[in-house]
Structure 1
Amino acid sequence: MEKKPLPWLNMIVSEPFYLSHFLLFFSYFVVRSSAAQVLSPENISRLLRWEIQATLAITVYTVVKMVKEESWEAFFADTLFYGKGLLLGVALIMDYHLAFCYFVGFLVLFVSTQQPVYDGLGNSVQLTPLQLETLLTEGNTSRFWLVEFRALCTPTCIRSSRLFPELSVIYSNKNLSFGIVDLGLFPNAAEKFGISLGVGMGMGQLPTYILFDNAVEVARFPEVDFEAKASRTPITKRLLCRYFELDRHLVEYLHGK
């Protein structure tokens, strides 16, 4: 019986973002073996202590994040970010030139590669702004439309790209439909729906979720004045369910209201 490759191994090999990070992290073992021949015993002992501490820290952090995070995209993003910091710290003990090289390497990867997004749609529909407006105004489709406005060039949208499709699988029905509008492809539509893209589409209000009831907006997350707040609440499936009362909508549909 032919064995299929492990999903995570296939992802590392096929995705430039993960492959390049894996190779850069793996290069530390090559550097470490060479450094053992030139560093003094005292520095080797100090480096070993730091390596043990870094390994324990990243292990604990990984376990905690694996439990708390709701998507693999967010888990990998956080783990890689924390791992980079630990690698730079350990490299700095060996030689500051090496730490600088790793810093430049991570900077090049940041500019040249992008973390892949979850490519499934679930029961949600990819829409253009014109298609969305048509569906809302026709009146012969679902009474409620929950729409995610996103741009897949922003880290926040990449991290949460899996949540909305998974919610659509659970909660979509004849009364509630799910749609996705990519403002990276249609940036001019942001003003129409009152969404701030921010500078260079790196910040702003993306992703934004709007619930329409017969073409009328009845709820939005985040709220329009969210920029006045000190920080933005992390997006989770539980938060979206509670905010848009998805359980109530599902119960009302099942009871035929």
Structure 2
Amino acid sequence: MSKNSNGGSSVQRDQESSYDPVRWLNLMVSEPYYLFHLLVFFSYIPVRCSAFQILDPARNSFLLKREIQVFVAYCVLTVVKIVRTESWESFIQDTLLFAKIFLTAIALVMDYHLALWYALAFLVIHIIAQQPPYEGLGSSNHLTPLQLESLLTEGNTSRFWLVEFRAFSTSACVCTSSFFPELSITYSNTNLSFGTIDLGLFPNAAERFGISFGSLNQLPVYILFENAVEVARFPEFDYEPYVFGPTITKVFSATTRCKCCIFLPHPLLALSVPKRSNLFLLHI
């Protein structure tokens, strides 16, 4: 488990690796999710060269116009996502989705059989590969259910524990995987500690902490413990997930006498940390 005193150096290493182009190139080659997508996207180049020789000039001209329109639309959407995105994982997921839609649409203009093959290829990738989550840990601790129970019952540990229960089989947990480590770096101290439990590795822990697998859209779940007692959670027990939830944002704002509110990676979830108090509240 990582120590709070190493939080500064840890977040610096995480930030450097996040913007390291060599790391991203290595991921593209080593991760099946990225590698398979790149192979499918670049397969359009030889297909297009062959089509240029087969199609008549009028059809080639029409196809070129559609390709330019698709490229411009993709660039506009990418710029919008860069401005509004909250994490690189979310940005990559959305831009890949746009690219798959546009590539299939262009293939449909060329030949509907080709469009069906691309749709099938993307479906196979979705089944056999998964987008890798954020690898940084920050000042949070990867815990097992037994470790969490032990930490909560020990008297010499932090008074508050904020624990994220997640499963990387869900896209929501992958897209928000960088938020909790960043939050732990900023607010981890002697009174508040952060931990994560992967329900994909420990599914039995879901029932132990009152988390239902009836709807995977409920994850991630955040539970705040004070002296081994649960004092708050989000979503609550009666939470009903919606297909289109509120916009997820992270807002960092603080004044001398005001609370500092950090909007966590789930709609309407906020962790309020009063500046001159040790009280931590989860509220909607």
Task: Return the TM-score normalized by structure 1.
Answer: 0.88
Answer yes or no: is 1:232 the counterpart of 2:245: yes
Q: CA deviation at 1:223?
A: 2.5
Answer yes or no: is 1:34 the counterpart of 2:50: yes
Q: CA deviation at 1:237?
A: 3.7
Q: Which shows bigger deviation, 209-218 or 220-229?
A: 220-229
Match of 1:50 among 66, 74, 81: 66
Match of 2:233 among 220, 236, 254: 220
Contact persistence 1:121–1:165 (CA under 8 A): yes
Q: Which shows bigger deviation, 17-26 or 35-44?
A: 35-44
Aligned length: 245
Q: Distance in 2 between matches of 1:124 and 1:228?
A: 27
Contact persistence 1:190–1:197 (CA under 8 A): yes
> Whose helix proportion is higher, 1 or 2?
1
1:16-40 deviation digits (Å, cap 9, x = unpaired):
2111111110111111111011112
Q: Which amino acid aligns with 1:76?
A: I
Q: Distance in 2 between matches of 1:189 and 1:92?
A: 47
Structure 1 residues without counterparts, runs of 5 or longer: none
Q: Distance in 2 between matches of 1:5 and 1:73?
A: 15
Q: Distance in 2 between matches of 1:50 and 1:226?
A: 44
Q: Distance in 2 between matches of 1:142 and 1:109?
A: 43
| 1:133 paired residue number | 149
1:227-250 deviation digits (Å, cap 9, x = unpaired):
16564345544322971114x2x6
1:44-78 deviation digits (Å, cap 9, x = unpaired):
12211211111111111111111211211111011
Q: Distance in 1 between matches of 2:22 and 2:68?
A: 28
Answer yes or no: is 1:19 the counterpart of 2:35: yes
Q: Which residues in structure 2 correspond to 1:82-231 (within 5 Å)? A: 82-198=98-214, 203-227=216-240, 229=242, 231=244
Secondary structure of 1:178's aligned partner: strand
Q: Which amino acid aligns with 2:272?
A: E
Structure 2 residues without counterparts, runs of 5 or longer: 1-19, 252-262, 279-284
Task: Return the TM-score normalized by structure 2.
Answer: 0.80
Q: CA deviation at 1:118?
A: 1.1
Secondary structure of 1:130's aligned partner: helix
| 2:277 paired residue number | 252
Identity fraction in percent: 59
Inter-CA distance 46–198: structure 2 relative to 1 (3 Å threshold): farther
| 2:85 paired residue number | 69
